[in-house]
Structure 1
Amino acid sequence: MRASLIQIRVDEDEPVDSRRQRAASLVRDQAGADLVVLPELWTTGAFAYQAFDTEAEPLEGPTHEAMAKAASDAGVWLHAGSIPERAADGTLYNTSLVFAPDGGRAAAYRKIHRFGFDQGEAVLMGAGTELVTVRLPETTLGLATCYDLRFPELFRGLVDAGADTLVLAAGWPERRRSHWTLLARARAVENQAYVLACGTGGTHAGVPQAGHSIVVDPWGEVLAEAGDGEEILTVEFDPAKTAVTREQFPALKDRVLGLRAPLR
């Protein structure tokens, strides 16, 4: 497979609609790829909390429309990153969208782990409750978003649901970039799966972004890594390597489930 991770630059001085159309154009430029991935909350910026409410859109809003058309025009599977979704009851969610090559929506994933502790996303947005996988002809994607990367049980759940390629959209801050690389490789090694993690460039509400989108193979080897600016990271990888790795080193078969902490 050929995957293209579009590490788009998000800056406050660019209008959202302009960035939306620019992202759609970048997706169209990836015709010939099998899978294209955009980052988290690239319409607003992951740390631009004040914009979540004003820029929130329904699931089938302008970003959905633009990305569905771009996927169809390019003939690619498109993980369109995430948007601030406003649900019918008014609740906001950090929601990722995946489109098939015909432009039909294949999946929507509401981010389960919200970042911010007692502020920001953690209080402004609702939490998703469902793991989401997407079956492609060559592989099954497991979807995750940014802060999810710190919670290995989510990824193990995706593997149990059949995922062999883990795709992460993120707006990860530069000050914790070492964690980004470390955790992406850890999730690949412990789940014996590919990890495709796409971040943003630029600065969100004064928070410099890490960039450094990364593709890691099931042995934890980095196949490709971007810099910190706007960049398209393209890599060829063989999804069959996941099954081979799990057969050659069958660590997942030795899992011991249902362990409990001792009583105190």
Structure 2
Amino acid sequence: MAGRRARAAALVRGEAGSGLVVLPELWHVGAFAFDDFAAAAETLDGPTAAAMAAAARDAGVWLHAGSIVERDAAGTLFNTSLLYTPGGELVRTYRKIHRFGFDRGEAVLMGAGDEVVTATLADTVVGLATCYDLRFPELFRALTDSGAQTFAVPAGWPAKRRAHWRLLAQARAVENQAYVLACGTAGTNGGVAQAGHSMAVDPWGEILAEAGEDEAVVRAELDPTRVAKTREEFPALRDRVLGRP
């Protein structure tokens, strides 16, 4: 894992000048490497967190460092996302609410989060979600109600459901009139081929930039006024009936 940490940190440092950098879900161990979760678990001041804090500070970027296997004081494991300021301060954590596995894997090995988490950056409010969360629109509506204009979604999504990955990322953007930054792992982990195809989606559901199946850095320029303009010009959110706050 030390090698993975060093590589991820180097990639982050290479993005100096960017506003926000997003890494994939559980990149330090592999989202399907269930047998390795316990050994890979760390606290929020562990080596992966320290490496990501330093990388964010060196690059001077907001860093969504994907997620780690977190072990809390009681010994419970969580799939926890980490968000750092350009000064390297850990300002938000998000424990994944919807655990994947259908009574296997993550669903039984990890605890579930219970908080809707947003963070105010320089020019947008980011809502945090992780992988399987993408299938649950109520979470994204709750993030929108909490002020989110951009969703950061790290994932370890399997290749055999790549079509769902692309479809759901666009759907979450369209229905909430928000940007979606969906960062997925490439290659194979735990014997499961990964979808890749990280992408940036705009509030109309248009894909601004997209990777292929292999590891890549995807860059997109987001207009911080685009969300408000879209919601004003096509005020569908105003017409909600069910679940309106």
TM-score (structure 1 length as normaliser):
0.91
Relative to total residues, which structure has the larger strand share, 1 or 2?
Answer: 1
Structure 2 Cα separation of the partners of residues 85 and 129 of structure 1: 15
**Letter aligned with residue 242 of structure 2:** L
Task: Tell me the residue number matched to 2:9.
Answer: 24
Name the CA shift for 1:258/1:165 in 2 (closer, same or farther; >3 Å): closer
Give the superposition deviation at 1:178. 0.1
The structural deviation recorded for 1:82 is 0.1
List gaps (5 residues or longer) in structure 2. Answer: none
Structure ranking higher on relative contact order (CA contacts 8 Å, 6+ apart): 1
TM superposition shift of 1:258? 4.7
Q: Which residue of 2 aligns with 1:102?
A: 87
Q: What amino acid sits opposite 1:22 in the alignment?
A: R
Q: Secondary structure at the match of 1:233?
A: coil
2:72 matches 1:87:
yes
- What is the CA distance between 1:20 and its match in structure 2? 0.5
CA–CA separation in structure 1 for the residues paired with 2:71 and 2:243 = 37
1:57 matched to 2:42? The reply is yes
Alpha-carbon distance in structure 2 between the residues aligned to 1:137 and 1:70: 19
| Distance of 1:90 and 1:84 partners within structure 2 | 11
Cα distance in 2, alignment partners of residues 61 and 122 from structure 1: 24
Q: 2:149 aligns to what?
A: 164
C-alpha distance in 1 between matches for 2:66 and 2:149: 19
**1:232-243 pair list within 5 angstroms:** 232-243=217-228
Output the CA distance in 1 between the equivalents of 2:161 and 2:67.
21
Alignment of 1:200-219 (within 5 A): 200-219=185-204
- Matched to 1:221, the amino acid is E
| Secondary structure, aligned partner of 1:141 | strand
Percent sequence identity over aligned pairs: 67
108, 114, 127: which one aligns with 1:129: 114
Contact 1:165 1:239 survives alignment (8 Å):
no
Q: Counterparts of 1:233 and 1:227 in 2: how far apart (Å)?
A: 10
User: What TM-score do the two structures reach when normalised by structure 2?
Assistant: 0.98
Measure the CA separation in 1 of the matches of 2:156 and 2:92: 20
Mapped partners of 1:149, 1:216: distance in 2: 14
* C-alpha RMSD of matched pairs (Å): 0.8
Using the alignment, how far apart are the partners of 1:93 and 1:21 within structure 2? Answer: 23
Q: CA deviation at 1:257?
A: 2.5
Give structure 1 regions of 4+ aligned residues with deviation exceeding 4 angstroms.
none
Superposed, 1:1-264 pairs within 5 Å as: 16-258=1-243
Q: How many residues align?
A: 244
In 2, the alpha carbon distance for the partners of 1:163 and 1:217 equals 14
